[in-house]
Structure 1
Amino acid sequence: MTSAIAGAFGRVEPRKAATGYLRGLLSEIPRKTCWDLSKHAGYTTPDVMQRLLSRATWDEDAVRDAVRRYVIDHLASPDAVLVLDETGQEKKGVATCGVGRQYTGTAGKVTNCIVAVYATYASPLGHALIDTELYVQRKYVDLPATREAMGLPDDWAFATKPQLAQRIAARAVAAGVHIAWAAGDEVYGRDPKLRAFLEQQQIGYVLAVGVDFPVATAAGSHRAGHLAALVSADSWERRSCGAGSKGPRVYDWAMVATTSARHVLLIRRSVSDPSELAFFYSHVPEGRVLTLSVLVKIAGVRWAVEEDFQQSKGQAGLDHAQVRRYRSWRRHVILVMAALAVLAVVAAVERGRHPAPVVPCASTDAPPGDYGLIALTVPEVRRLLTVFTQLTAVVTPRIAALRRQFELQWSIWRRRHQARARWHHYRRRLART
């Protein structure tokens, strides 16, 4: 990754600092602030890392584009899905760029926070974050002094989250990224301009919508919730929308036709609680077959962005930045995406070489003699990268070899333990279905 982004740095000093920043993000230090990253890199003060984020000359757009190319080069697929979603970081003050009282799923409530829209590139090979845009509330339109203090660009103008998502998707399309599908939650499914853009680009979509979303049918326009009540009992099909850590994610699914031959309303119903429904407005471009199995699969891919949020925060410090100005925030986030891309690609390559998982076929299966190992995960890759690439700098080669062997033994034990847990979770899930 460092070679992929090297061209964005005109001088050796910021390039060296960025390399140290990335190594720190990939390390096991618990907090990834400039102070901690500077100490990890061997600097005696945080000045170098703070300058990297705030004043050093380098092209963060070029780094972002290099991250996207790196992900596409390793994870590209004809069935790729662009997953759009937002996540937040709680803040106490009023000076951080874009901060304000707003809802964030991170806290599950309205709180003082910053929120950004992200895009995950997801394929059968793996997934990683490839782009982002900071969401800044409309109230700042009338606060030029505050915008200047936050370091927002001179040409900043208010944009809704769907508009930011469209901006991200347009950049990917302009870069030549093949996107077969788009997925997102209700914020994006409700926006007609975003849906129109995706259709113009021949990108299919499965976007969540609310219970009150109006759907045009041959019998007139009806709310999604009303249409769900009209679905006959034999029209529901039980299908898995993907494999989870505890077994296949099985739901009941139904499709409702609309006045358009290329659009349908997809309805998901919980197996354990039939009153729990979710709705997805879906579009399949001309030339592709519209089937329930395809739409169910795309609906299930949406979990990839949630996993990327979890991994980028837990493993690479996405929400650890203690910055105030827009440029510093953006540079930190782009470097975090670069670190996560490394972890995601290594995990994907290793997963492709990994044997098929040992899982039960029926709820009556007896436990096997060998559960095998789970494939390398992003957290496991991060642990091993730390011990294999950064250990010899602080200990002798003999001690480093012993430590690596020790860590490998623990890695094998964890993965075997997790494979055993997965087998029993799968069998329990089969018993319930």
Structure 2
Amino acid sequence: MAEELAAVRCDLEDFAAEVFEPFARAEQRRWGGVYLRGLLLDGRRKSVEPMSVRLGEDGNRQALAHFITTSPWDPAHVRARLAWRMQQVIKPSVLVIDDTGFLKDGDSSACVSRQYIGTAGKVTNCQAGVCLHPASDGASAAVDWRLFLPESWDPASPKADPAKVARRKPCGIPVEVGHVEEWQLALDMIDETRSWGIDIPLTVADGGHGDTAAFRLGLEERGLDYVVGISTTTTAHPEEAQPHTPPYGGRGPRPQPDYPEPARTVKNLVIAAGRKAARPVQWREGSRPGSGRSGVKRMYSRFVALRIPPAGREIRKNADAPELPVRWLLAEWPADQTEPVQFWLSSLPADTALATLVRTAKLRWRIEHDYREMKPDVQAGGDEEVAGLHGDEYLRRSPRLRRTLRMGRDGDHMVELHRIPFQHRLGVDAETGPRVHHRSPVTHRRHDLPRGSG
């Protein structure tokens, strides 16, 4: 790994100089670059002491610890620089909202609690957070992130756990930081990312967010189209259903228009449409060998797309007319299955092609693929090694540079990106103890903003 890192050191230093440029002091920029190199070197433990040993003559333990724990710099500036760079490199077609988590054996890390995370597929002891990934078919990168603070860690919550509340001060959690639902954290990050001048073409999320009507409404209020996963129990009306106003009896308030039939689950609506409504769609080529002309296996299945008005109290409350707004219901129904297996809801226009709906919904595979490739390199060595997510940022644990960031000349910007080789502040360090940074508003100076961003 040392030889591999030496081969790309110039590119890595250029990248570090770019993202650390807003730092006020030259020493901060220097040790930010050194810390970045330390994270990319071999070795399971990514705390300051073992990193300083691996860095050799650059391994000043005290300077690295100061940079991580007490050196005053605004992480929002670094995230903005990272987002601008990735906007150019990835040329994203979607913004993927992803939940991530870190399994924990103990209870010392900030915001650790028994909660559900997809990493384990069950309720377990862990930290959880939300990340934003610009993504295209070829690449993705996390550019913003939030730690989820459970209600048990919030002293203002009726579900507060005194033992966990007592851990807030040792973990460095500011007094003003309280419990915020994950879907609201995602909307907050979208607002922050847009404030940097980053274009968000389309939002993709899984069922953990898509099932929440308030999240979908929040995207619509921001003028953002979406394709989000939903569970089988989400309810809606058939497209042909119309609200009906019962006759007025002469007493009391006049009746309001309402749908005469109760809403049905999306699963029942798709089953009612029948197998005949399913159409074959190929959305991408896989990585495994196949028998086709391309030599690789094609990702293929059958899908049903229906126009339906989603139901629910929040949706009714926010509707401007008696008729509920109509959205796309997309369902995957493989030929060898007796019923549909996966569902999405989308606000894309009514004339959107089925293939476009499918390819957009399935683009979340890019994030899963990148995490899967990264997994052998990021096995945690316990609480001492990596704390994971803290306050505004989580440690993107990528100790190996799997692909090279290559810069051409004369306008030839040729970049291969598996994931950006940058990890932000370490939340808990073995020597210096845990630290949480409160989410701060973006306060860019004028010259920090890209042209045209206002």
Match of 2:101 among 84, 88, 91: 88
Q: Distance in 2 between matches of 1:347 and 1:58?
A: 29
Q: d(CA) in 2 for partners of 1:344 and 1:203?
A: 32
Contact 2:286 2:298 in 1 (8 A): yes
Distance 2:48 2:370 in 1: 22
Q: Distance in 2 between matches of 1:345 and 1:167?
A: 32
CA contact (8 A) 1:215 1:265 kept: no
Q: 1:6 to 1:317 in 2, by over 3 A?
A: farther
1:208 is aligned, of 222, 229, 236, to 229
Quote how far apart the aligned CAs of 1:279 are: 0.7
CA contact (8 A) 1:53 1:327 kept: no
Q: Is the 8 A contact 1:54 1:327 kept in 2?
A: no
**What amino acid is the match of 2:343?**
F
Deviation at 1:4, TM superposition (A): 1.4
| 1:258 equivalenced with 2:258 (yes/no) | no
Q: Which has the higher helix share?
A: 1
Matched residue of 2:344: which SS?
strand
Residue 293 of structure 2: aligned partner: none
Query: For structure 1, which segment, 276-285 or 256-265, has the greater mean C-alpha deviation from structure 2 after superposition?
Result: 256-265
Q: CA deviation at 1:321?
A: 7.2
Structure 1 residues 227, 150: closer, same or farther in 2, change over 3 A? same
Question: What is the correspondence of 1:21-420 to structure 2 with a 5 Å cutoff?
Answer: 21-42=35-56, 46-77=61-92, 80-124=93-137, 126-142=139-155, 143=162, 144-217=165-238, 218-219=240-241, 220=261, 221-246=263-288, 247-259=297-309, 262-275=326-339, 277-284=341-348, 289-311=351-373, 313-315=375-377, 322=384, 333=395, 346=405, 378=418
The structure with higher relative contact order (CA 8 Å, sep 6+) is: 2
State the Cα distance separating 1:110 from its structure 2 match: 1.9
Q: How many residue pairs align between the two structures? A: 352
- Computing the radius of gyration from Cα coordinates, the structure with the larger value is 2
Tell me, in whole angstroms, the C-alpha distance in 1 between the residues paired with 2:305 and 2:171: 47
Partner deviation per Cα, 1:101-158 (whole Å, 9 max, x = no partner): 1122222322211111111101245321111000110111225533222212232121
CA RMSD of aligned residues (A): 3.4
**Partner amino acid for 2:41?**
S
| Paired residue type of 1:223 | T
Q: Counterpart in 1 of 2:21? A: 7
Find the aligned partners of 1:8 and 1:326 in 2 and give their Cα distance: 25
Q: Report the counterpart of residue 404 of structure 1 in structure 2.
A: none
Deviation, structure 1 residue 88: 0.9
Asked if the contact 2:388/2:395 (under 8 Å) is kept, the reply is no
Q: Report the AA paired with residue 193 of structure 1.
A: A
SS in 2 for 1:94: coil
Mark the CA change 1:118 to 1:24 in structure 2 (over 3 Å): closer, same or farther: same
Scaled by the length of structure 2, what TM-score is found? 0.68
1:318-365 C-alpha deviation (Å, 9 max, x unpaired): 99874798997756626x58x99x97783899xx999xxxxxxxxxxx
CA gap 1:57/1:317 in 2 versus in 1, 3 angstroms? farther
Does the Cα contact within 8 Å between 2:233 and 2:265 map onto a contact in 1? yes
Distance in 2, Cα, partners of 1:346 & 1:177: 21
User: Which runs of no fewer than 5 residues in structure 1 stay unpaired?
Assistant: 355-374, 383-433
The answer (yes or no) to whether the contact 2:97–2:204 under 8 Å persists in 1 is: yes
Distance 1:224 1:156 in 2: 37
CA shift, 1:48, in A, is: 3.5
What SS does structure 1 have at the residue aligned with 2:395?
Answer: helix
Contact 2:135 2:366 in 1 (8 A): yes
Distance across 2 between alignment mates of 1:273 and 1:214: 22
How much has 1:252 moved relative to structure 2? 0.9
Contact 1:25 1:317 in 2 (8 A): no
> 1:91: Cα distance to partner?
1.6
Superimposed CA distance per residue, residues 140-181 of structure 1 (whole angstroms, 9 cap, x where no aligned partner): 122553322221223212111111111111112222222221
Q: Is the 8 A contact 1:34 1:46 kept in 2?
A: yes
Q: Output the CA distance in 1 between the equivalents of 2:390 and 2:343.
A: 38
Secondary structure of the residue aligned to 2:147 is strand
In structure 2, the CA distance between the partners of 1:327 and 1:48, relative to structure 1 (3 Å rule), is: farther
For residues 317 and 20 of structure 1, the distance between their equivalents in structure 2, rounded to whole angstroms, comes to 22
